[in-house]
Structure 1
Amino acid sequence: MTSIVGIGSIPESWPVQRAKWLMNRERRSINSSDRVVTAFRDGTVTLRANRRLSGFTEALQEIGYQGIRKGDLVVHSMDGFAGAIGISDSNGKASPVVHAYTPTSQADLRYYAYLIRQMALNGHITSLAKGIRERSTAFDSAMLANLVLPVPPLTEQRRIADFLDAETRRIDKLLQARWRQKSLLVEHTNQRISELATGVAKYKNIYNTGSPWIPNLPEGWKLLPLKRRWTVIDCKHRTPTYLDHGIPVISPGDIKPGRLDLSRAHRFVSESDYRDLADDLRRPRKGDIVYSRNASVGIAAYVDTAARFTMGQDVCRITSVDQDQLFLSFVLNVVVQGEIESLQIGSTFTRINIATLLGLGIPCPPPSEQRNIALQMDEVSHRGDDLQRKLDRQLEVLAERRQALITAAVTGQFDVSTASGRGVTE
């Protein structure tokens, strides 16, 4: 076996070449009808319109744009380190940071797309870039040209590419099915929690509230502004000196739906700063809710720990003396999320202010019923979380085995002409 840096061992019968002898850089002019082609980090190279139209930076003047043709090997010089390398399925145009290549007589570019993308995902491209210029991850044409690559016989390259096209397509279908299952699970869990929080699953005597967000509630329940039953305490204070350890400071990005996890905190303060920051009102207690007003807007976490911590900017504390806080945390995370999201439409700064929070309509069953309902919602949530963890594990295993299959195939670790791939991926 022969060893190549960034690839590993390959059969001794395979020669090696620098990439510049295997592919030619293309610099085509563009046509007026060409649409933008994008190289995505999942290895797909396609028309931008095939994925989505929003979220991209649009060039006012397409200076330096070049023509891309179906079958080109396309490398995104800035995102290539993260996997934005693949074969274009479309004709179009791309910005100057994207490079297009056609093969020489020695190369099937599908094989080299799999191979070079693996080198990027295993960190080799990043290591080369950092060796040239500090903190750079640019995968430019000169760097690609100098990569030392194996050169299996052309017929073998085609067999490997055909095999991987079929097997990765099969695995991708399984991945899509698991993602769909996860989406349906979340939808079902949230629907069940909403039914419990609004009483529509249990009670028959329902009245119309007049609210577009929570239109129906059982008789005896009320739809009240949050401020009628709960107290919201905002956190406004000076910026302290943050430390690597000490008393945790909860920021908006640290808050995830459910119960508060202090291990997510990435900023800490000293004992003296904690005393200055956390006066009696701003000191969350067990049974309170911490609520994100920025970043992950509208996310509530129930505090079920007596451990000390304080709140950073744009985090507030929600408390009550006679209402069930766990019940409210589910309502905030699930039931009123549609209303919160509607308030952000058209806004360039995703943030909810205190006045808006205080005005949110909250379903209020009699206090004597809230704890029982909250425990039922908690049970539904735990079941959903357990199933999500199992699906997440399946997604991880499929993704890992997909990568292992590609690595084994492109480095000649097995004969693809007699393999199905199923022994590697199942």
Structure 2
Amino acid sequence: MTFDLAIESIIHTLPSSWKVEEFRRHATLVGEVNAGSGMPLLSLASTGVVSPRNEEGGMGRQIPSESTIERYWIARPGDLVVNPMWLIGGGIGVSQVTGAVSPDYRVYKIGPELFPPFIHHLLRSQPYRDQYRLYARAETTFDRRISKQDFHPMPLLIPPLEEQRRISEFLDAETGRIDQLLGKLRHQRDVLAEREGVTVPLAVAGARLGEGAVNTGVPWLPSMHPKARLVPLLRVLQLQRGVDLSEKERRAGKVPVITTAGRVGWHDVALASGPGVVIGRYGSVGNVHWVEGAYWPHNTTLYVKNFNGNDPRYCYHVLRSLPYEMEQARAAVPGVNRNDLHRQPVVLLPLELQRRVARQLDTEMVQMESARERILRAEALLAERHRALITAAVTGQLDVTTARCTSVA
């Protein structure tokens, strides 16, 4: 047998009781189709979970036609579901439910020498993900498809059946603990984002300065400082669309090129002087970037051409406070329209209060960003622990009969 490169080194260190055999010896393609369209439609997530498919507004997914649904493959509990177009992104998992999956997928019946939950962990482990990447010609939409010719002879690491069960039970318990901790961290991150979403609009309106508050009549901006005025955004600042600058057109220099995602490169000529504020026009709409010096705003962005005599840092926070989701919902195409934003009602404070608010928010931003970074670091460590634990268990590097991984922090 010619071993595949990504798992060749692992094979030489396997316990003596383990076997290495081709995938096709232990799995059979399921050819049962959804005749009569009677089965519930299923989706396969990048997490490996096969679950009922949400057709109503689910990520813009178009509801398939009746004739297409009849060509869907039937998957049953214990069957392996594979998305050959997205194997490198985690598109593989053992189903625990019955239903119909896309005809672009593959469904395999697992043989009696394999315990399906073990195969689920094995084929989602890092060595196999690395192997899928080697099978793919490239990561473009069609070139990343993994062919049957590559997938079927792929070597499987096969412990004795009872050991497969022990490994699966161990991993289910330990990864479940990690997933719970990850869920708590994600909740903390959501709470932090919610706090920021409430704090910024009230702060730029001066409602947190402790000098009384006046009702604005604007749903997303409930109150403002008594000295504030409700005005169109154009009275506060003027936005201008950025200018395209391809990588080939850029020349070595010290001027940052700012896109909707932030700085992506450098150029030798500036289009705007600093300090500047740039927002995403489409793509990552609502991303607001502060630029200290001269810069080049890309055509994927809008930048502040004129601060109208207002404090630039205050204007930065004003743009952070806008309800971009509402603007996008009203738009015919994804993104934000400069003219619509200019008409958006915002609060304008006197200049001395603008500076107080900007200092206040800058301090709070540092604190919130520090908290966010701590959460992200903890998430990254737990995710790495999750990957390493699975790899060690399914490759025989960890004896699960003696392992006690109750601490994952």
TM-score (norm 1): 0.85
Contact 1:251 1:313 in 2 (8 A): no
1:80 shift after superposition: 1.4
1:363 shift after superposition: 1.2
Distance 1:146 1:216 in 2: 66
**What secondary structure, in the 3-state scheme, does the structure 1 residue paired with 2:143 have?**
coil
Distance 2:163 2:360 in 1: 59
Structure 2 match to 1:224:
231
Q: Do the aligned partners of residues 134 and 192 (structure 1) sit closer, same or farther apart at CA in structure 2, a change above 3 Å counting?
A: closer
Distance 1:329 1:134 in 2: 38
Is the aligned partner of 1:23 residue 2:27? yes
Tell me, which stretches of 5 or more residues in structure 2 are unaligned?
none
1:358 shift after superposition: 1.8
Q: Do the aligned partners of residues 146 and 92 (structure 1) sit closer, same or farther apart at CA in structure 2, a change above 3 Å counting?
A: same
Q: Do the aligned partners of residues 128 and 40 (structure 1) sit closer, same or farther apart at CA in structure 2, a change above 3 Å counting?
A: same
Contact 1:217 1:363 in 2 (8 A): yes
* 1:32 aligned residue (37, 47, 65): 37
Structure 2 match to 1:286:
274
Is the aligned partner of 1:400 residue 2:399? no
AA partner of residue 125 (structure 2):
Q
1:72 shift after superposition: 1.1
Distance 2:17 2:247 in 1: 63
Structure 2 match to 1:42:
47
* 1:66 aligned residue (73, 80, 90): 73
Distance 2:50 2:203 in 1: 45
**What secondary structure, in the 3-state scheme, does the structure 1 residue paired with 2:156 have?**
strand
**What secondary structure, in the 3-state scheme, does the structure 2 residue paired with 1:195 have?**
helix
Q: Do the aligned partners of residues 238 and 98 (structure 1) sit closer, same or farther apart at CA in structure 2, a change above 3 Å counting?
A: closer
Distance 2:5 2:234 in 1: 63
TM-score (norm 2): 0.88
Contact 1:250 1:265 in 2 (8 A): yes
Structure 1 match to 2:6:
6
Q: Do the aligned partners of residues 237 and 178 (structure 1) sit closer, same or farther apart at CA in structure 2, a change above 3 Å counting?
A: closer
Structure 2 match to 1:259:
none
Is the aligned partner of 1:332 residue 2:319? yes
How many residue pairs end up in the alignment? 398
1:79 shift after superposition: 0.9
Distance 2:142 2:250 in 1: 25
Structure 2 match to 1:90:
97
* 1:149 aligned residue (141, 148, 156): 156
1:309 shift after superposition: 2.5
**What secondary structure, in the 3-state scheme, does the structure 2 residue paired with 1:168 have?**
helix
1:346 shift after superposition: 5.5
Q: Do the aligned partners of residues 228 and 4 (structure 1) sit closer, same or farther apart at CA in structure 2, a change above 3 Å counting?
A: closer
1:78 shift after superposition: 0.8
Contact 2:274 2:295 in 1 (8 A): no
**RMSD value over aligned CA atoms?**
2.8
- Of stretches 74-83 and 22-31 in structure 1, the one that deviates more from structure 2 is 22-31
Contact 1:299 1:332 in 2 (8 A): no
Structure 2 match to 1:209:
216
Distance 2:244 2:156 in 1: 58
Distance 2:247 2:158 in 1: 58
Structure 2 match to 1:310:
296
Q: Do the aligned partners of residues 222 and 253 (structure 1) sit closer, same or farther apart at CA in structure 2, a change above 3 Å counting?
A: same
Structure 1 match to 2:394:
410
Structure 1 match to 2:307:
320
1:240 shift after superposition: 9.3
Distance 1:127 1:244 in 2: 35
Distance 1:387 1:4 in 2: 43
Distance 2:179 2:276 in 1: 43
1:110 shift after superposition: 1.4
Tell me, which stretches of 5 or more residues in structure 1 are unaligned?
256-263
1:101 shift after superposition: 1.6
Within a 5 Å distance, the mapping from 1:109-258 to structure 2 comes to: 109-119=116-126, 122-130=129-137, 136-203=143-210, 205-235=212-242, 242-243=249-250, 245-246=252-253, 248=255, 250-255=257-262
Q: Do the aligned partners of residues 55 and 10 (structure 1) sit closer, same or farther apart at CA in structure 2, a change above 3 Å counting?
A: farther
Contact 1:68 1:92 in 2 (8 A): yes
